[in-house]
Amino acid sequence: MKIIIPRITDSTSRKDLKNFANRILEKWFRLPFSAHPQILSCRILSVTSSVGVIQRHGLIDVTPDDAALKIIRKLNGAYLKEKRVGVKQYDRGTEHSHGRPASTGLS
């Protein structure tokens, strides 16, 4: 499952995003023979609006889905690089109706 963290600061790196999510994954209770949660990828999307404003969004791909849901629940409203952030499930199919980035560039 992909998680999006909208409007991150310019100083936020992919390593910062990974460490942010790992705060929850490191405490994950794991039963024997169960899948260990892991971050598959961490990206920063840069989106330029029609008036030239650049916004940066963090995108983290986590497996299994229950780990991603726990990250969303625990970190939504937490601080990342001294800024309070929202954390939610990324749904590319509805990005236009929810104001999410339509065209993205990786940084």
Global pTM reads 0.78
Strand 79-80, strand 54-63: pairing: unpaired
Name 44's bridge partners.
Answer: 58
Name 83's bridge partners.
Answer: 80
- Span 20-48, mean pLDDT? 85
Q: How far, in Å, CA of 84 to CA of 78, rounded?
A: 5
In this structure, are residues 68 and 26 in contact, taking their beta carbons and an 8 Å threshold? Answer: no
Helix (H) or strand (E) holding 16: helix 14-25
In this structure, are residues 95 and 101 in contact, taking their beta carbons and an 8 Å threshold? Answer: yes
Q: Tell me: the pLDDT tens digits for 70-104? A: 999 999 999 999 999 999 999 876 444 344 444 44
